A and B are shown apart, each in its own frame.
Chain A
Amino acid sequence: MSRIGVFTCHCGENIAGTVDCPKVAELTRQIPGVVHSVDYKYMCSDPGQTLIKEAIKEHKLDGVVVAACSPRMHEPTFRKAAAEAGVNPYLCEMANLREHCSWVHEKNEATTQKAADLVRIMVEKVKHDTPLTPIKVPVTKTALVVGGGIAGIQTALDIANAGHQVVLVEKSPSIGGHMSQLSETFPTLDCSQCILTPRMVEAAQHPNIKLMTYSEVEKVDGFIGNFKVTVRKKAKKVDEKACTGCGLCVTKCPNKKIPDEFNEGLAFRPAIYVPFPQAVPNKPTIDTANCTYFKNGKCGVCSKVCPTGAIRYDQEDELITMDIGAIVMATGFKLMQTDKFPEYGYGKYKDVIDGMQFERLASASGPTAGVIKRPSDGKEPETVVFIACSGSRDRAKGVPYCSKICCMYTAKHTMLYKHKVHHGQAYVFYMDIRSAGKDYDEFVRRAIEEDEAKYIRGRVSRIYEEDGKLIVKGADTLMNGEPVEIKADMVVLATAVQSQDRSEDLAQTLHISYDKYGFFAEAHPKLRPVETNTAGIFLAGACQAPRDIPETVAQGSAAGAKVAALFSQDELTREPIVAVVNRQAPPLFSTCTGCFLCQTACPYQAIEQEEIKDRSGRVIKTVAKVNPGLCQGCGTCVAFCRTKAIDLAGFSNEQLFAELMTL
């Protein structure tokens, strides 16, 4: 039989004003198992706490109910006091006589009766409480950052600068992401390469950062602080250590007509290539799908010319497994393809390009050295039409959301265009101008007022080619929908920002949630924007939703800070309110039937499958097992389990039923 003490607080007049506290103490003293019950003016005061501690010792109490204010207020206070007196803190509970009783009811018998009932409920709970100890898990202080765009670079640098190890995994041959392709950036029009390249180099040279380019995450096991990650290092067919980056192979490769991804198909590259001059690492990769040697065994020129013998045609993919404490996803976005636009020609008009292609045309390092030339015939376009919301905010054929960055980059494009083609005229068809950011709307106004971009509010219905011009048929909704037709030399579509290809697969590999568009889901849209629902996995940049660079960098740093905070501890301490699947000897018997309903219900992927084997190693059955590192203690699994094999510590079935028995 338990020895429980009940301590009823007056809270000055706050409780005692409506509740007859001495009577509550008296009524509750009669509850079986209660061996001590007193009331006092201010329980949370020092003398109040001392009173409790002494009572624990004097009456050898093994459970405590403090009938006072809300547990949200003082539960930690009294649990600490109980612990100091030698009672497991989880055997101390509070009955909420103030917020839930004295403050909300009149002074009368019913109110006092309710107060006594509230105490009764908690006494029964305490009787069924079990001592719990906070869960401790060790932390491996190495972070994995997936994706080497500006988000990933920023995160990696911040974590590395906090003194922790980082592995930065990038799937393409160089880090840099989309930002490396941009010409100049809003809202300040500074050169993208100029601000990005130093960071890329810093990341590559940082002693705490291990760069793995041309690599992808293959498998993730484990949980916060203790992930085991397998990365596939794809074969570049070039020995990175031996290669000096002299570039001879690249110049000599005879196979030069491969559409250049970095230049968005506006230029060509050879089969052995460095994606762009400032690439990090600045060493080539063989594109085996397009290399003659890999297609028919002929050629081999690169190998012949390489002065250091760095070409390795027989190099294989490598699988590397490592221990990781935290993961940051920074895999970015992709743009909707122009062939997704039937009314704009299914991508067949060469001079209908997307925003990224325009960036390349405007970039000093681009295929035209920054001179604006249209792709079809290299002429300077004198009229350029920009179409905002191409595929965005289009639930019929595109995506319903706003891509957020295109209003701004379109304004930027009109400016860059005007700065380069002084006599040119830019038109923008738009629906709304979304430029909510520091200096953003001013920037758009500048495009309109100083660089004379003509903004027309309406969507374009159709584009077709006639007499060497692109006929753009729009309407002006500020003029009652009056049809507007513009004969353009080039059209730039601000195509929708979408999640990366196969982002759902990646999310499943990592057990993180994603939204219906394939963007990774944050744990809470306002209060936990860089965390995922899976403890220890964080998000940065455009893999979560469309973002511009300032936001991406802010989020990268935020994710970095979260990781650094996590790594500031050697062990993680967590509330022991977690689910457990019952296990009873001999040997490891469980009532779990292995239905795994709990697994489907758990929002945190905390439930794993475990095989129970007999002595000879034969699998008797497969049962559920909760990973206490991942479980957040919501209890959803408990409600789902039909055999009551899984239960939640601190809010067990037994406890809740006991509470109900007092009614």
Chain B
Amino acid sequence: MRIGYYPGCSLLGSSREFNESVKAVCEAIGLELVEVPDWNCCGASSAHVLDHELSVALPAKILAQAEAAGLTEVLAPCAACYSRLIGAYSELEKNPDHKTRVSEIIEMPYTGAVKVVNVLEVLERFADVIQAKAVQPFARKVACYYGCLLVRPPKVVNFDRPEDPQVMDQLAAKVGATPIDWPFKTECCGAAFSVTRTDLVAKLCGKIVDSAVKLQAEALVVACPMCHSNLDMRRPETNAALGKDLQIPVLFLTQVIGLAMGIEPKKLGIQRHMVPVAFNAPTGAQA
């Protein structure tokens, strides 16, 4: 089986390990990723702040490239990219006459033939394969953190429950983890304010990390590079804001699954995290 792949900028830079682990897991479950040729940045959270049309045109260009390459479905593992892509897709579906205008701007035909899917959606399709291959159960208590962009706005993404989503929890459970029931699954982490308003990010992340630790989670599991960098890279500021020293690691779901499948930690980029993943046995066996 094959599917279009849009890694996005973060996955080539600050979130390389997400890219690495997605690729490793997809290989293991037999899903071939076909990278969208010569893809550009989706505009992230910056384009729409400055110009709405630009924020639609950049994702449309990506989807048009995918369309030209004969793809029908594109996986965007980064939740932020996913959100921009599906947002543009849905807006153009709602106003089909805008498709002509956007095609002019991007100098390529855009018809809306390519669907956008997130990493949870894709992994869910392989849930049974994943379970079967989880030879080294990740037997830890985890707090699955979805952030804002995977489930919202519900009418656009049309995926899982907008409050208290379940899919990541179910996938984590398939590989032996025990997901905790906690209230901060979709509370915003501060998203793009990582650089400009680090203080805010620290405050918002503080609530999230604190709650997970209080409920005895051993790891936070995410599926978004932005969430990851806020929860992981901003940990010093977060801890300072909390007045605590919380060392709970933040893993991508694909890393959790990869570990359970027995994929070598290095191949999954575990070593790249700022908050070290200090499980004694990286295979997930309890210390």
Contacts and interface: CB of A to CB of B under 8 A. Distances in A.
Nearest to A344: B163
Interface in B137-167: 161-164
Interface in A335-383: 342-343, 345-346, 348
A345 B182 CA distance: 11
Interface in B154-201: 161-164, 183-184
B211 A343 contact: no
Contacts of B162: 342
B164 A342 contact: yes
Contacts of A348: 164
Interface in A234-286: none
A465 interface: yes
Given A343-B163, A467-B214, A471-B183, 4 more contacts: A342-B161, A342-B162, A464-B184, A466-B183
Contacts of A462: 163
A462 B162 CA distance: 12
B101 to A, nearest CB: 30
Given A465-B183, A466-B183, A342 B211 contact: no
A387 to B, nearest CB: 15
Contacts of A345: 164
Interface centre among A462, A464, A465 (most CB of B within 10 A): A464
Interface residues of A, number: 11
A346 B163 contact: yes
Interface string A465-499: 11100010000000000000000000000000000
A346 B164 contact: yes
A182 B68 CA distance: 65
Contacts of B184: 464
Interface in B112-139: none
Interface residues of B, number: 8
A342 B161 CA distance: 8
A346 B161 contact: yes
Nearest to A343: B163
Contacts of A343: 163
B12 to A, nearest CB: 35
Interface string A441-467: 000000000000000000000101111
Nearest to B162: A342
Contacts of A346: 161, 163-164
Interface string A307-348: 000000000000000000000000000000000001101101
A464 B161 contact: no
The 7 closest A-B pairs by CB, nearest first: A464-B183, A342-B163, A343-B163, A342-B162, A346-B164, A342-B161, A466-B183
Contacts of A466: 183, 211
Contacts of A467: 214
Interface of A: 342-343, 345-346, 348, 462, 464-467, 471
A348 B182 CA distance: 12
Interface string B207-224: 000010010000000000
Nearest to A342: B163
18 contacts: A342-B161, A342-B162, A342-B163, A342-B164, A343-B163, A345-B164, A346-B161, A346-B163, A346-B164, A348-B164, A462-B163, A464-B183, A464-B184, A465-B183, A466-B183, A466-B211, A467-B214, A471-B183
Contacts of B163: 342-343, 346, 462
A342 B166 CA distance: 13
Nearest to B165: A342
A348 B161 CA distance: 14
Contacts of B183: 464-466, 471
Contacts of B214: 467
Most chain A CB within 10 A, of B162, B183, B211, B214, is at B183
Contacts of B164: 342, 345-346, 348
B44 to A, nearest CB: 26
A422 to B, nearest CB: 31
A342 B164 CA distance: 7
B223 to A, nearest CB: 20
B170 to A, nearest CB: 15
Contacts of B211: 466
A342 B160 CA distance: 12
A471 B163 CA distance: 15
Contacts of A465: 183
A466 B212 CA distance: 11
Contacts of B161: 342, 346
A323 to B, nearest CB: 52
B248 to A, nearest CB: 17
A464 B184 CA distance: 9
A267 B119 CA distance: 44
B159 to A, nearest CB: 14
A467 B163 CA distance: 20
A4 B250 CA distance: 99
B216 to A, nearest CB: 13
A662 to B, nearest CB: 54
Nearest to B155: A396
Nearest to B181: A348
A342 B186 CA distance: 12
B238 to A, nearest CB: 18
Nearest to B211: A466
A349 to B, nearest CB: 10
A465 B162 CA distance: 18
B131 to A, nearest CB: 25
Contacts of A342: 161-164
Nearest to B182: A464
A5 to B, nearest CB: 69
A351 to B, nearest CB: 14
Nearest to B164: A346
Contacts of A464: 183-184
Nearest to A346: B164
Nearest to A464: B183
A172 to B, nearest CB: 33
Nearest to A471: B183
A491 to B, nearest CB: 14
A467 B182 CA distance: 11
A346 B183 CA distance: 12
B257 to A, nearest CB: 26
A420 B184 CA distance: 35
A345 B181 CA distance: 11
Between B161, B162, B164, the greatest number of chain A beta carbons within 10 A of the residue's beta carbon is seen for B164
Nearest to B161: A342
A359 to B, nearest CB: 27
B169 to A, nearest CB: 13
A532 B164 CA distance: 44
Contacts of A471: 183
A465 B214 CA distance: 12
B160 to A, nearest CB: 11
Nearest to A341: B163
